[in-house]
Amino acid sequence: EVQLVESGGGLVQPGGSLRLSCAASGFNVSSNYMSWVRQAPGKGLEWVSVIYSGGRTSYADSVKGRFTISRHTSKNTLYLQMNSLRAEDTAMYYCASYYYDSPEGGWFDPWGQGTLVTVSS
Amino acid sequence: DIQLTQSPSFLSASVGDRVTITCRASQGISSYLAWYQQKPEKAPKLLIYAASTLQSGVPSRFSGSGSGTEFTLTISSLQPEDFATYYCQQWWTFGQGTKVEIK
């Protein structure tokens, strides 16, 4: 069974840092496009970052320069290092695999259950 | 950047109703549009990909169609478990969501 399990969320002060983890089972993180998607309380879904199977990364403008996506092959785990956190980063953070089989696009599946990040003093 | 606008943002419907949600793109996009269902306190679940292909295990009352700038998600006969929020997505962009509530 394919499963993604996030961890590492919590309460952090503005300006602080946090590292999220997403442990995968049933499939290989390094062979897939892996992404983070967040959802602020009561709001919609917002894509945050992706790491492609070749290792290239991409970020939403709202987190560029502050967040870093990475993966550990032998641990089969995806990470999101979040620095200089702001109140507006408060959200549930989901990891998801981005299935891509065409230059025209792809879709997110499966998703983890999410980990909550709260940025507040 | 492409923007996806869903309509309506909220709809109230009864069990058994036929429901249609529209997703409009700010410019012509490929047919690789996906739809997700999200229930409270749960992760989104993929329903449809490539505009009209039903994900494995999703009931056949769900269907998708469209191309270019306009796409639709249809639920042919709304069931109690279908009350949720629905999102469209293309590449890294999501629509703002449509909340389906019980009338």
Indicate the pairing of strand A77-82 with strand A115-119: unpaired
| Alpha-carbon distance A109 to nearest alpha carbon in chain B (angstroms) | 6
| Alpha-carbon distance B21 to nearest alpha carbon in chain A (angstroms) | 16
- d(C-alpha A95, C-alpha B21), whole Å: 26
pLDDT of residue B71: 97
pLDDT of residue B26: 93
Residue of B nearest to A45 (CA): B94
pLDDT of residue A119: 98
Average pLDDT, chain B: 96
**pLDDT mean over B54-61:** 98
With 90 as the cut, is the pLDDT of residue B24 above it?
yes
Cis peptide before B44 (omega within 30 of 0): no
**Segment holding B102, helix H or strand E:** strand B98-102
The pLDDT tens digits of the residues spanning A68-91 come to: 999 999 999 999 999 999 999 999
Does residue A19 sit at the B interface (CB-CB below 8 Å)? Answer: no
pLDDT by 10s per residue, chain A, length 121: 899 999 999 999 999 999 999 999 998 999 999 999 999 999 999 999 999 999 999 999 999 999 999 999 999 999 999 999 999 999 999 999 999 878 888 999 999 999 999 999 9
Which residue from B32, B38, B87 is facing A106, i.e. has the nearest CB? B32
Identify the residue among A37, A100, A108 best suited for mutation to test binding to B, counting B beta carbons within 10 A and taking the highest. A108
List the end-to-end C-alpha distance of chain A, in Å, as a whole number. Answer: 40
3-state secondary structure A60-92: CCCCCCCEEEEEECCCCEEEEEECCCCHHHCEE
- d(C-alpha A61, C-alpha A47), whole Å: 10
Residues of B in contact with A22 (CB under 8 A): none
Identify the residue among B21, B27, B29, B32 best suited for mutation to test binding to A, counting A beta carbons within 10 A and taking the highest. B32
Token pair recorded at residue B45: 């679940």
Residues 6+ positions from A50 with CB-CB distance below 8 Å:
A33, A34, A35, A36, A57, A58, A69, A98, B92
**Residue A55: φ, ψ to 5°:** 105, -15
| Alpha-carbon distance A41 to nearest alpha carbon in chain B (angstroms) | 10
